[in-house]
Each structure stands twice: as C-alpha cells, then as structure tokens.
Amino acid sequence: MNGNYASTLNINLDSLFNEHIKTLTSKKAIARGDNAIRLDKGELPYPPSLKVVQAIAETAHQINRYPNVLGGSLRAALAEYTGAKPEQIVIGNGSDDLIELILKIFLKPGDEVLLPRPTFFVYGFATRVVNGIPIKVDRKKDFSLDLDAIVHRVTPKTKVIFLANPNNPTANLEPRKNLIEILEKLDCIVVIDECYYEFCRETVADLVDIYPNLIVLRSLSKSFGLAGIRVGYAITNPKIADYLYRIAQLFPVNKVAIAASRAALKDREYIQDNIKQIQQSKQQLITALEELGLVVYPSATNFFFIGTKPLGITSGELVQSLQEKNVLVADFGGKQGLEPYYFRTAIGTPEENQLFLEALSSKL
C-alpha cells in the first residue's frame, strides 16, 4: 500500500458488516505437507485417469475464452450418466456451492433448516451465511435418522431439511423407505446429498418426478477423483433447476473443469477400478482396526467413522499423535453433540493404509 495518502474519513467499519456474518468463525489456512498421508478429507487416493489429464491439457490453450454458460455440454453428459433429463440437472462449483444456492432461493431471514446431527458441517454453515436458523435434531445411537424427532421439530418456519445419504461423517446409509417416509410427511424442500453414491449405488434420484420438493445432490469430487476441480451437481424438477440457475453465476464451473468432468464421465472403467480397490482394502482395514480395540461403524462410503472410547483415549489425543507422524485424519470428538471419542478416516492406497495402521499401533 502507498503510504503517501491518509484518509480523512472516520469510518466505523464494524458497523457496516451484517450482524449475522459477524457470528461466523474466521477461516485459517491449514498446511498439509506434500508428504502427508492425507486421510482427513474423504478424498479418493488415486489420481484422475489419463483421459482426464489429456482433456485438461487439450483445453489449456483455450482458457483465454469464457466457458459455455450453465455448464455447457457437461449438463447433457451428466443427464446421460444419471438417466435424468438435461433440464433436471444443475451444475455448481462443488456441492458446497449448490447448498448455498438452495438456501438462497428458499430461505428468508429467520427461516429454519432441519439438520439431523452429526452431519456435513457445510449445511449449518451455509444456513447461517444466509441468515437462517439451523435446527439440530439428534440422530439415534446408531446414527440412523430419528424420524419421529424430525417430524416433531417441523414448524411453519421449516423450509429445508438436509439429509446426507450415506451420512458424513458417520458413513451409514439410511434405508430408502425412511427417506420416502420423510418425503411423504414433510412439505418443505428435502435435500438428499448422495455425494458418495458411486460407493453404495443407492439413490432416490428416480423420485424427483414424483416428489416436486426433492433435490438430490451429487459430486465428482469423491469417486471420480476430481476434488481439486470442484464440480457438483443437483438432480431435481425443472422448475427448481430454473430458479437455481437464475441466481447462479453465469459460468458456474470453469472451462477446464467442464473438460475434465466430461472425460471422467466417459472413462467409467477407470472409476470402477478405483472403487474396486477401495472396497478390497475396506474389509482388511476393518479387521485391523477392530483388532486394535477401536469401534468401526458400518460404512457405505470410502471412509470410516471410528470410536476410541473402549481404549480410554480421546480422539483428540489420537488425532494429534497421528498428525505428529504426518498422518492426517479428522477429529469429531466433542463436535455436533458427540462425546470426545470419534474420528473419521478415509481409505487410502494400500501403502497409505499400512502407514496409518503403523502410526495407530505405536500410539495404542
């Protein structure tokens, strides 16, 4: 900044910020070293296919031009992949982008959003960003949905409910019949987040023609290995899709992301091979973790939710110990109504899994 100028204005900057934004926590950049065993974000441990890399390279010389509006040809490619109609697809800069867009079109300040907890933290964060009120409903002890509690918490101000299925961070899958029961009983917007669909192959996307208040979220971050590209999409009825696009940026995803996503959708054999490797490692990890005395909850995803209470050690202690060995997992102890004994870890490559188990064993 040039120090030759001094403002004569007396501005109270704090008075200009929206009050509800002041309550949000500051973000901090957390360094994750290149050599770290990164199991904390639920990422796919394998790189994208060579076809994706080639598509990115071929597109690089075109980035002086804007991408096509509304995701261009990617919308049709996702419709073909999902069996939906193109007009039912909405593309966003990751699912996080779509979560906020949904809340912007349905919430007024003071409206309520139901959040069965524990669940994906972005739902609550985005609700607060748009000045809505997160209403937390505890799940049952096995982390399944408490349907009676959900229905009981509905008020005239309830506008949206978010249901991650499989749930993040607990990895469990809610039966389809329970989701249909919620759709039958609630007249608010029901968002079912199927970010990990490819790992469980369970979906309610076929119901968007039956329930006009249903929005299904999907992602190319996890099973497609494109977390760094940031592409998510929604499947819903054309009217909701139209309104989401009305308030979205004209270019919701960049040109490189469109090319990479289209290439990934075409190379499904590579995707299935990666998922198969994850599934093969899964049972081996469960056995090894249980032999260490940890509680491993049922998982329909590429990650585990793990309890440390039987060992008399908090998850915070364990996570810190792993971090000192350059192994990163996510601590959920004491968060979202949980006791201080839970952490989440993704399934890595066989080599990463072995290093993770060795780091755990040295602490336990």
Q: What is the residue whose two structure tokens read 């069965």?
A: 116
Cis check: omega of the bond before 252, within 30 degrees of 0: no
pLDDT the model gives residue 217: 98
Q: Which residues contact 230 (CB under 8 A, 6 or more apart)?
A: 93, 94, 97, 221, 253, 257
| Closest by Cα among 322, 327, 289, 325 to 308 | 289
Interatomic CA distance for residues 289 and 304, integer angstroms: 10
For the chain, 364 residues long, give each residue's pLDDT as a single digit of tens: 555 666 667 888 888 888 888 788 888 877 676 789 999 999 999 999 999 999 999 999 999 999 888 888 899 999 999 999 999 999 999 999 999 999 999 999 999 999 999 999 999 999 999 999 999 999 999 999 999 999 999 999 999 999 999 999 999 999 999 999 999 999 999 999 999 999 999 999 999 999 999 999 999 999 999 999 999 999 999 999 999 999 998 898 999 999 999 999 999 999 999 999 999 999 999 999 999 999 999 999 999 999 999 999 999 999 999 999 999 999 999 999 999 999 999 999 999 999 999 999 988 7
| Closest by Cα among 62, 41, 65, 71 to 257 | 71
pTM: 0.93
pLDDT the model gives residue 68: 86
Task: Extract the tokens encoding 302.
Answer: 């590429």
pLDDT the model gives residue 244: 97
- Do 241 and 247 touch, CB atoms closer than 8 A? no
Task: Extract the tokens encoding 323.
Answer: 């971090």
Per DSSP, helices labelled H in 107-215 are 121-129, 147-152, 176-185, 197-200
Give the number of residues written for the chain: 364
Q: What is the residue whose two structure tokens read 């009825």?
A: 237
Q: Which residues contact 34 (CB under 8 A, 6 or more apart)?
A: none
pLDDT the model gives residue 2: 57
pLDDT the model gives residue 295: 97
- Do 190 and 214 touch, CB atoms closer than 8 A? yes
Task: Extract the tokens encoding 335.
Answer: 């968060």
Interatomic CA distance for residues 98 and 126, integer angstroms: 10
Fold of 22-44+269-363: Aspartate Aminotransferase, domain 1 (3.90.1150)
pLDDT the model gives residue 166: 97
Number of DSSP helices (H) and strands (E) in the chain, helices first:
13, 13
How far from chain centre, in Å, is Cα 198?
14
pLDDT the model gives residue 23: 86
Query: Which residues of the chain are in CATH 3.40.640.10 domains?
Result: 65-266
Query: Which residues of the chain are in CATH 3.90.1150.10 domains?
Result: 22-44+269-363
Q: What's the CATH class of domain 65-266?
A: alpha beta
Q: Distances from the Cα of 178 to the Cαs of 140, 144, 147, 195, in angstroms?
A: 14, 10, 8, 18
pLDDT the model gives residue 4: 67
pLDDT the model gives residue 364: 78
pLDDT the model gives residue 169: 97
pLDDT the model gives residue 5: 65
Q: What is the residue whose two structure tokens read 């509006």?
A: 69
